[in-house]
Structure formats: C-alpha cells, structure tokens
Structure 1
Amino acid sequence: MLMDVIGRHVPKVEVSKMRQALAAALVHDLGHGPFSHAFESVGKRLGLKMADHEHVSDVLIRDSEVATVLNELGSGFANDVADIIRGRGKKNVYRAVVSSQFDADRLDYMRRDRLMTGTQHAGIDFKWLIANLQIASVPFGVDESSIGEIETFVLGPKAIFGAEAYVLGLFQLYPTVYFHKATRGAEKIFGELLYRTIMLIQNDSLDATGLPNNHPIVRFARHPDDVESALGLDDTSVWGALPLMCEARDGAIASLAQSLRYRELGKCVDIRERVAHAIEDSGKADDEIDACCAKIKEKLTDWLGRQDANMPPIHLDEAQRSPYKVVEETQGPLDRINIYTNGGKLVDLKQRSAVVAAVKPFKLFRVYCQRSDMETQKVVNAIVDGEIGNARQ
C-alpha cells in the first residue's frame, strides 16, 4: 500500500528503487535470533555480534542464498537492499518505506500484535491513514541551518485524529504488551538462563548445563562469530532444551529452566508504580519520582552486588518509552510525523496536536523475585518503603 502511495504521488517513479524498498521491507528482520530482542540483550552483555539482528541480517542479505536470489534482479541488488536497511546512502521516500514513522514494519506489527495478543488497545484507522498519506519534500538541517530536503510520507489535514490515534496506539502497546510484567519477567529469566549457559560452555563447563555436545546452543556458544551457528538457534531449539536444562548440575540453570518451562515467573514488585502513587499523593512532581527511583535502584544494586552472583535473587527491569519524539530528538523528517494544517502549512504533528504534545513518557522500574523467597521480598520492600518515606518528608 505504501508503494501505491508512491505511485500516486511521485511523478517519475524509479522502478529499481521501488523493488529495492520492497525487498528491504521483506528481509530486514531476517537476522533475529530466538525470542527476538531478548536474545539481543544477552548478546550485548556477552559482546556477541551474531546476536545483533541487524548485523546478521546484513551478512545474510549480502552473502548467502538470499543474496543469490536478490542479485537475479540486477547486479549489486543485494548490496543496495542491505544499504537501505543499514541506513546508508541518500535518504528518500523509498528509504521511508523501510524506516520512518510510517514504515511498512511498524504499520504491520501494530495490527498484527494487537490481533495475536487479543488486546483491544492500539486500534488505528489504517485505511484512513493510507488514504490520507501524501509525499512531500521536507526540509532538514543541523540546528537552525537547513542543509537540504527529503521526500517522505506526510499526512493531509483530515488525518489529524487518525495520526493521534496512531501515535497513542503504538504508545499503548508498550505498557499493555511489550512492557507487560509477565512478558518482561519471562524475558528476564530467558536472558539470565542463556547468559549463564553460554558463559559456562565458554568456560569449558558444558557438563554443568545439561546440554549435549551437539546442541545448537552449544555450537553457538563455541562459535559465536559463525553465522551458521547463529542460524541454528531459534525459539524451538531453546524450548526443546528446557527439559534437559531442568536436569542441569548447575543449580542456577536448573532453576531458571524450570521457571520458564513451567511458567513459574517471578513475583513482580512494581517499584515505580508504588513510588508514583505515594509521591503523587503528596503533590510532588515527576522529578521527585525519578529521584526516588534512582535512590532505590542504587541501594538495590549495592545489595545485589553482595549476593550470590551465580543466582541473582532479583532481576532489575528498567525501561522508558516516549509517545513521540520532539524534533530535537529525531534524526530528521523520516523520524517524525509531518502533517498539513488546514492552511496548507507542513508542520510536525506535535505542533498541531495538543493531545500528542501532552502525553508523558511511559517509564517502568520493577524488580522480579522468586515467589518463594520471602526474605528477598522483605529486603526489597523495606528499601522501597524507606526511600518513599524519605521522599515524602
């Protein structure tokens, strides 16, 4: 549908560019490992480049059977597709199909994730948004100096309410789906399980993990720079390993594997929610909430550092999602929603919508403890209550 918009509004459509954009939209996520971004977080902790889905996607598109197929569309076609995904080269409307506020990926996963999770939040008028999409040249620059223009998707003036629903809908998916306490709790367990398993394997302690020598996780741990070992990992290989890891000699691995296999997720202590409730009642502002959470995190981190490193008694979880980036925080017109006013002036959505401008970022700060570990829960609650008491004085 985005290509139809380009076809309607671009006088001289570049067919080769359209094909590259279509291909890029289809293959840009090829490199995702098991459990997607949760696996990437493990890779960052261990410094594993083959856990970075953008790097793996780039390798596959440039040098695999994927490249062979893509290059049938023209010499160098695969490299051109990879460059679009990596953000190299000229920014234009074809690049906007792959990476922008209205890229194909975002418009797809918003509706797909809403459907698959069953949530009634985040509904958008997709057809109306597409019907009101136009293409215009938007100026960009550094500070106050203009350095050029970029052709990108913009919205007509009638789409103001649809645009608001789109921004708020995407924003709502985070607290209700992506940042849901059960989702994040499971991701924390998965991350700790895979982190410790890979660490033990790389330290020649395979026997403690419960895994056989030829398991895909073992191959990846031993050859983390090999793309084939990365491709051997998927959700199924991890789920299939859980019964084996439940019998691991390493107590931490066995406990974490059992938690995932039997969905015995940790007890969630929503620290920020508790702090916000207490401090907002006292009439204090967000800055005080942030400061109180920071002090709690400092004390929890200090306490955690004195515990058994092999089996952390708590998992800290901190994240933030802004409903919409202000112009100064974006990398240009592709990273914001441009919309026409009724007078024909093209402006940033936040300048026209009081609703979007008023929504505050969603922040979370939680701790997950084992449900049976009452002593740890007492420690966490004592630290939280103590700092809340200090903040309210």
Structure 2
Amino acid sequence: MTYATQKLAEEKVFKDPVHRYIHVRDQVIWDLIGAREFQRLRRIKQLGTTYLVFHGAEHSRFSHSLGVYEIVRRIIDDIFKGRPEWDESERLVVLCAALLHDLGHGPFSHAFENVFNLDHEKLTQDILLGDTEVNAILQRISPEFPQYVSDVIAKTYGNKLAVSLISSQIDADRMDYLQRDAYYTGVSYGHFDMERILRVMRPREDQVVIKQSGMHAVEDYIMSRYQMYWQVYFHPVSRSAEVILTKALHRAKELSSSGYKFAYEPRHFKPFFDQAFSLADYIALDEGIVMTYFQEWVHEEDGILADLCDRFINRRLFQYIEFDPAKDYRKLAELEHLFKKAGINPAYYLVFDSSSDLPYDFYRAGEEGERVPIHLLMPSDELRELSRSSDIVEAISGKRRTDHKLYFPEDLLRQDTKKKAVKKQILQLLLGES
C-alpha cells in the first residue's frame, strides 16, 4: 500500500458544532492536521477583530479549515463518487487543498497583511512548497504533489472542477465560513440549506453546477452571504478595532525605522519592519504574540503607540461617521489641519476607511475580475446562468455596494484640556455640534 492510499486503522472524528462530525480516514490528512504549520491555525482567529463586537467570535482558522475539508470530503465521497465527470484520482489533491487553503493567514489576517504588504495566498503556497512539516508530508505522496496542492489553491491547476470546489461563487470555503461565523457570532443571517445544495450539486468538466430544482436554496445562500458581509464582516465597530490595530502596527514600524529605543523590543516584528523576514519568522507569529507586544507597549514612552495599544487591549475604540470622499474631501483636509492645531496626529487619529462587496456576478467579457458564474442544470441538460432564472439574484448581480466611514477618537476631543476651542470646532465639523 502506498502512502497515497494508506487509510487509518480506525476512522478519526472531530466533534463540530456546524457539521456535527468531521471524518478523517486518510493517513495523509491526519498527518497534515498534526503538522506544526496547521496547528498554528488554532492561534489565528477566523474573524480577526470581530470578537470585540460579537463576543462569541473566538473561533479559529483551524476549525474553519477542518470544516472546509469536511464539506469537500462529503461532496467527492458521497455526491460525485461514481459519476463519469469526476476523476477519482483527483480526490486526495482536492482534500489536501481544502484542508490547507488558509495556511498562510497571519495574526489578525488582513490587518497584518495590509501593514506589511503581505499576501496570505502567496504565503500559503510558500508554506506548501518550502522547508516545512506540511511540505514533507505532502512529498511522501510524490515529489510533485505539494505543487499540485499549491496550484489548486492558486487557481492555476489544470482541473477547473477541482478548483471550483474550493474557490468559486458557491464553494466549500464560503459554505463553511457563513455557517460557522453565524454560529459563533449568534446571528441568523448566515444560515442556509447546505444539505439541499449538496444534494443538487453535479460535476461538470470545468465547474460544479446546481440542478434547477435547487435554485431557491442557492438564492438563500447568496442572500445569506450578502447579509453576513454587511451585518458582521463589515460591522463599523469591528472596523474601528481593525483601524486601531493597523495604526498601532504602523506606529511601531515607524518608530523602529527612526531608531526609537523600545522598552519592550519588537524582536518578532523586526524582520517584517525591515522587509527581510523568512518563512520561519512568519510561521512563528500568531495572535498571542501580537497581544503580548500590545500589552507591553501600553507602557512605552511613545504616547501614540502606548495609547493605540491601550485602546485595542481595553476596547476604547474610535467613534465613526458616514463620510463620502467624493463630496467631503475638502472637509477632510480641514479636519487634518484642525487635528494638527489641537496637537492630535491625524495620521493615527483621523482615519478614512472603505468596505465594499459584490455579492454575485456573472461573466462580463473584457471586464477586470471576471467571475465564473453559478450555472443551473436545466431538465433539458442545458446550463443556464443563475441570474437568468432568479429574479432575486438578478436584482443584485454585478452591483457593488460600498460603505465609507471616518474614524476618530471622540474621547480625546472631549477632554477638558488645552486647545478646547479647536476641539470644539472639530466636533462641530464631525458631529454637527454647535
């Protein structure tokens, strides 16, 4: 028996609040779960700063990754098995890609990426192909196998059907995180009938398609995604926390480059400040380390770094207002001037932030970011793009919704100290106070 076909002597199961059980039968999957790079995902929250809004949102990328694996396992072992369109030899590469798709996420994910100009998908590929435990396990199947798994995640793999299971507009990744995030945040928006969707999924040469009888379950899924983005993922208070986290890291980076002497040296961050980090440096980082630095930096001599870290640790977040950059750009310039007059650094305390989402789109020739649409399999065996049959989906297709906010420390502006007149002027501009 080769390593690729080796099964566990006894099936392992993980008890899961979303899928009830996650089943592991393949030795390679069990070994990958035990690898240090995968275990690190226990220490990376799935929803970043969202726990500061929804207190239950403490779940990890580890549990999400197991969930994506389980959905893909069910699709290929239960739904696709025996169908001529599905090549059984692709089974293991797709299962490994599903399990490992988020391996490159760093602490607080997107905020950390933005500060240090990182790409978690590229880092996922680096971990798969680098000197890691995960790579060594994958190589036991074949020397080329790590590259195959990487290609599935990078969406460059030759079998587009395999790619679509993990990365498409109706994939296992989205189906897990919508339900898991809804469960842990306690909201009802992310719930949809996954069981129905799985039952009506069918393999085709280049993608998964949905039987026409399952259209309403897919409509529900798309609307669930739409609601989750605006009610949870783009929640303005969570964005406020992310703004503060980002600015604290920017401040530490600026201080490091200026030669500032930290009371608590940022040893783990230094390679990132200097843009000279190794893969080992990246893998060594998790959210516990970031929080340790922030707790220590509360006592730093630099007032901005100390304040921003204290705000994040103790949830003293920025206030926000709606802000239209097209109409209010002159107001922003005036506010920056007044912040400086008040002795408050606008680079760290006056922050414009935007969020946008495109809930569903179909192929638009020549447009940037073309998306493979969801296709319905009609009784006649023809494929029809979803929005041509669904009035609900047609209403939101191709429509990007964008939300702009301006974040600022209202508590600082209300302090009864010097520069009172200037602060009053700022509050008048921001909040309309007389």
Match of 2:45 in 1: none
Match of 1:245 in 2: 297
Give the AA of the match of 1:55. Answer: K
Segment of structure 1 superposing worse, 188-197 or 217-226: 217-226
Question: 1:1-393 alignment to 2 at 5 Å?
Answer: 1-4=74-77, 5-11=79-85, 13-15=87-89, 17-44=90-117, 51-63=118-130, 64-137=132-205, 151-207=206-262, 210-212=263-265, 215-222=267-274, 224-271=276-323, 293-297=325-329, 299-301=331-333, 303-304=335-336, 307=340, 311-328=347-364, 335-341=372-378, 343-359=380-396, 360-372=399-411, 373-374=413-414, 379=426, 382=429
The 1-side partners of 2:347 and 2:182 are apart by 35
Segment of structure 1 superposing worse, 236-245 or 220-229: 220-229
Q: For the Cα contact (< 8 Å) 1:242–1:257, is it kept in 2?
A: yes
The 1-side partners of 2:310 and 2:153 are apart by 38
3-state SS in 2 of match to 1:7: coil
Q: For the Cα contact (< 8 Å) 2:106–2:285, is it kept in 1?
A: yes
Match of 2:52 in 1: none
The 1-side partners of 2:259 and 2:100 are apart by 36
The 1:380–1:41 alpha-carbon spacing in structure 2 relative to 1, beyond 3 Å, is farther
The 1:203–1:320 alpha-carbon spacing in structure 2 relative to 1, beyond 3 Å, is same
The 1-side partners of 2:227 and 2:99 are apart by 26
Match of 2:57 in 1: none
The 2-side partners of 1:80 and 1:305 are apart by 54
3-state SS in 2 of match to 1:101: coil
The 1:381–1:68 alpha-carbon spacing in structure 2 relative to 1, beyond 3 Å, is farther
* Structure number having the greater helix percentage: 1
Q: Deviations over 1:178-209 (max 9, x none)?
A: 100111110000001111112222332242xx
Give the AA of the match of 2:382. Answer: K
Query: 1:130, CA displacement in angstroms?
Result: 0.3
3-state SS in 2 of match to 1:123: coil
TM-score when normalising by structure 1: 0.79
3-state SS in 2 of match to 1:124: coil
The 1-side partners of 2:290 and 2:75 are apart by 36
3-state SS in 1 of match to 2:352: strand
Query: 1:122, CA displacement in angstroms?
Result: 2.1
Give the AA of the match of 1:73. Answer: I
Q: Deviations over 1:92-134 (max 9, x none)?
A: 2111122112222111111111111111112110000000101
Give the AA of the match of 1:121. Answer: Y
The 2-side partners of 1:211 and 1:217 are apart by 12
Query: 1:2, CA displacement in angstroms?
Result: 2.3
Give the AA of the match of 2:389. Answer: R
Q: For the Cα contact (< 8 Å) 1:223–1:229, is it kept in 2?
A: no
The 1-side partners of 2:346 and 2:192 are apart by 45
Query: 1:160, CA displacement in angstroms?
Result: 1.1
Query: 1:59, CA displacement in angstroms?
Result: 1.1
The 1-side partners of 2:247 and 2:100 are apart by 29
The 2-side partners of 1:65 and 1:316 are apart by 41
The 1:326–1:179 alpha-carbon spacing in structure 2 relative to 1, beyond 3 Å, is same
Q: For the Cα contact (< 8 Å) 1:350–1:357, is it kept in 2?
A: yes
Q: Deviations over 1:314-333 (max 9, x none)?
A: 11111211221232158667
Q: For the Cα contact (< 8 Å) 1:211–1:218, is it kept in 2?
A: no
Could you tell me which runs of 5 or more consecutive residues in structure 2 were left unpaired when the two chains were aligned: 1-73, 415-421
3-state SS in 2 of match to 1:316: strand
Query: 1:305, CA displacement in angstroms?
Result: 7.0
The 1:118–1:300 alpha-carbon spacing in structure 2 relative to 1, beyond 3 Å, is same
Q: For the Cα contact (< 8 Å) 1:111–1:123, is it kept in 2?
A: yes
The 1-side partners of 2:236 and 2:370 are apart by 33
Q: For the Cα contact (< 8 Å) 1:21–1:94, is it kept in 2?
A: yes
Q: Deviations over 1:254-279 (max 9, x none)?
A: 110010011001112133xxxxxxxx
The 1-side partners of 2:393 and 2:363 are apart by 13
Could you tell me which runs of 5 or more consecutive residues in structure 1 were left unpaired when the two chains were aligned: 45-50, 138-150, 272-291, 386-393
The 2-side partners of 1:30 and 1:12 are apart by 26
Q: For the Cα contact (< 8 Å) 2:157–2:163, is it kept in 1?
A: no
Query: 1:309, CA displacement in angstroms?
Result: 5.0
Segment of structure 1 superposing worse, 251-260 or 294-303: 294-303
Q: Deviations over 1:339-372 (max 9, x none)?
A: 1345543111111111112135432111111021
The number of aligned residues is 342
The 1:205–1:83 alpha-carbon spacing in structure 2 relative to 1, beyond 3 Å, is same
Give the AA of the match of 1:379. Answer: I
The 1-side partners of 2:235 and 2:139 are apart by 42
